[in-house]
Amino acid sequence: MQLTDWLVLGCYFLLIVAIVWRSSRHQNTTADYFLAGRHVSWFAVGCSLFASNIGSEHIVGLAGSGALNGMAQAHWELHAWVMILLAWVFVPFYYRSGVFTMPEFLERRFDARTRWVLSVVSLVAYVFTKVSVTVYAGAIVFQTLLPDVFGSPDNAFWVGAVTAVVMTGIYTVMGGLRAVVYTEVAQTFVLLLGSALVTYFGLSQLGGWGELIAVAKPHAHQFALWRPNSDPNFPWLAVMIASPVIGIWYWCTDQYIIQRVLAARGLSDARRGAIWGAFLKLWPVLIFLVPGMIGFALHEKGLLAIPLKTDGSGAILGDAVFATMVQALLPIGLRGLVVAGLLSALMSSLASLFNSCATLFTVDIYEKLRPGRSEQTLVRVGRVATTVVVGCGLVWIPIMKKISEGNSGIYDYLQNVQGFLAPPITAVFLLGLFSKRINAAGALWGLVVGFVLGMAKLTLQTLTKSGAISRDSFLWPVGDFNGYYFSGVLFLFSVILVIAVSLATPAPAAAKVKNLTFKSVSPEWKAENRASWGVPDVLGSGAVLGLVLGIYFYFSFWLN
């Protein structure tokens, strides 16, 4: 990086500091700190949804997946249709209930036990998956772009990891969700522009889109959107089963995402924010996944030297593809802008995670244990909780480094772990909204048993891949069973278990489920919901769904 790049980067951070300073002046209540005073416009909600989702693990990991697996993981990035589901099905219930968190919503619908279970599961999952993966991806960027600035590539990795976590932690502690949301508005456009520039310069260096197709065709089995069911990693049936389960959990029930919708200034803004976010969500396939394939093509033609794995296999290190392209292809000045985009992704995701963790701990755990505390005390506890999560993220980085290097890229690792966590939560929320007969006992059994089975599968799969469980062991078939198929099996099992236990125990009282399921909403609820949308919402949703189908159609046949 040259002086001009550092100046561009410095200007970007000055903008972030200004936004945080302004946001930190309005943090007097829990609604201010955790939900930005519930006064966020639809435009900011949509930008925040996109920027929270697109972390450095997304940019780095998706580019790496594009280079290693082609379009195989595009199915997860075409979840814009799930965000339309969020806008029309889930948002009215969440926003009208006035809750701060998803566990709090479960308590309204079921009981306090389900709230406790979801709170603990979410906190553990955030620290050991999202926080650590995001930090690791950011550190890889430092290691690739600044290998000698801090003495060695390894030093650059650790400086990048620690600096990113500490800086993001500071501005999240100071500014709360208001700082997170409004910095993400700026970060959204830096992300889009920076990644589009990498795609443009990569294609220019390669010789155009036709040349990418020409290089990809001999590797059609690797680059295809649809893999045969005999494929050990991405069988199409397993992918189509697992990706919606994970998508509905992530976009429609996860505190990390839903917190932005709850911060909207009205039901109309909440829905339109989700629709605007769905449109933005269409772009990662084109500006994150495609650059990875371009990087692979440039490497194949000898125009770009991507670092190789250290295991002696001669395979490229997928997670280093994006940063290598930034370093080798972009001119001075633009390189600084794209690095700002990468750091934006890292910081926006981390800030969102830190604030969501603080909200979960303060609202769902601390306030339940110590009721009646003042608003100022709760805000202070939220800041302490954020600091603790920052520390946990730092401690887990060395372990994450080893886990990631032993798998087929951080994005594949992340999707596998989420595939084991998502099914029971998705089952409970869907059944809870669509059936008033589902009760607290069924929800509790579904969450607890589903979580235990998911973690057991994760443990056995990790041990199998590492060689700790041999082929002779009776546990090997379980550990080796495709994780995406397992996600579908676990979802079906969770649905059956929740329904069976609910039918075997008394139905919830009518007052308990009023306005919390589709079959128990009042006429006033229906009228308010109908008044919150109009023709622009319908047209916007239709346009997003049409674009999703168009992208699917093109990439289904692009190598034929």
Q: Where are the domains of the chain?
A: 3-405
pLDDT for 50 beyond 80:
yes
pLDDT the model gives residue 507: 93
For residue 17, the Cα-to-chain-centroid distance in whole angstroms is 25
* Residue 469 · residue 463 · CB < 8 Å: yes
Q: Which two tokens stand for residue 141?
A: 């960027």
Q: Please report, rounded to a whole number, the percentage of residues in the chain having pLDDT higher than 90.
A: 23
pLDDT the model gives residue 536: 93
Report helix, strand or coil for 180: helix
Q: Which two tokens stand for residue 245?
A: 């389960």
- Residues 134-150 have a mean pLDDT of 68
Cα distances from 279 to residues 74, 197, 290, 542, in angstroms, run 15, 20, 18, 11
Q: Which residue has the tokens 């007052």?
A: 511
pLDDT the model gives residue 348: 66
Our CA angle for 480, 481, 484, nearest 5°, is: 125
Taking the model in full, what pTM does it have? 0.84
With b for 16 or more beta-carbon neighbours within 10 A and e for fewer, the 98-114 pattern comes to ebbbbbbbbbbbbbebb
pLDDT the model gives residue 535: 94
pLDDT the model gives residue 25: 58
- Per-chain mean pLDDT for the chain: 81
Nearest CA to 97 out of 504, 512, 537, 474 is that of: 512
pLDDT the model gives residue 405: 55
What is the C-alpha to C-alpha distance for residues 202 and 215, in angstroms, rounded to an integer? 14
What is the C-alpha to C-alpha distance for residues 420 and 450, in angstroms, rounded to an integer? 9
Instruction: Please report which residue ranges of 225-266 form alpha helices under DSSP H.
Output: 236-252, 255-262
* Residue 482 · residue 232 · CB < 8 Å: yes
pLDDT for 531 beyond 70:
yes
pLDDT the model gives residue 286: 85
CB-based contacts of 14, cutoff 8 Å, min separation 6 = none
pLDDT band of residue 182 (cuts 50, 70, 90) is low
Q: Does domain 3-405 have CATH number 3.40.630.30?
A: no
Report helix, strand or coil for 176: helix
pLDDT the model gives residue 409: 56
CB-based contacts of 415, cutoff 8 Å, min separation 6 = 73, 76, 242, 246
Q: Which residue has the tokens 């803004």?
A: 269
What is the sign of the dihedral through the CA atoms of 414, 420, 426 and 432? Answer: negative
pLDDT band of residue 382 (cuts 50, 70, 90) is confident
pLDDT the model gives residue 265: 86
What is the C-alpha to C-alpha distance for residues 252 and 263, in angstroms, rounded to an integer? 15
Q: Encode pLDDT of 93-108 as tens digits.
A: 998 888 888 888 999 9
Q: Of 147-156, 352-361, 434-443, give the lowest mean pLDDT range.
A: 147-156
Nearest CA to 420 out of 479, 349, 360 is that of: 479
Report helix, strand or coil for 308: strand
Residue 467 phi/psi, 5° resolution?
90, 0
Between 190 and 215, residue with greater pLDDT: 215
Burial of 465 (0-12, 13-18, 19+ CB in 10 A): middle
- Residues 122-127 have a mean pLDDT of 77
Cα distances from 129 to residues 28, 124, 135, 412, 419, in angstroms, run 31, 8, 10, 12, 12
Nearest CA to 399 out of 386, 388, 385, 413 is that of: 413
pLDDT the model gives residue 502: 96
pLDDT for 147 beyond 70:
no
* Residue 252 · residue 270 · CB < 8 Å: no
Cα distances from 333 to residues 44, 186, 287, 328, 346, in angstroms, run 28, 18, 20, 13, 20
* Residues 134/139/140/142 CA torsion (nearest 10 deg): 140
- Residues 41-59 have a mean pLDDT of 80
DSSP per-residue letters across 33-85: HHHGGG-B-HHHHHHHHHHHHS-HHHHHHHHHHHHHHTTTTHHHHTTHHHHHH
pLDDT the model gives residue 29: 53
- Residues 153-166 have a mean pLDDT of 70
What is the C-alpha to C-alpha distance for residues 283 and 79, in angstroms, rounded to an integer? 11
Count of beta carbons in the 10 Å neighbourhood of residue 96? 17
Q: Of 177-191, 225-239, 253-267, give the lowest mean pLDDT range.
A: 177-191
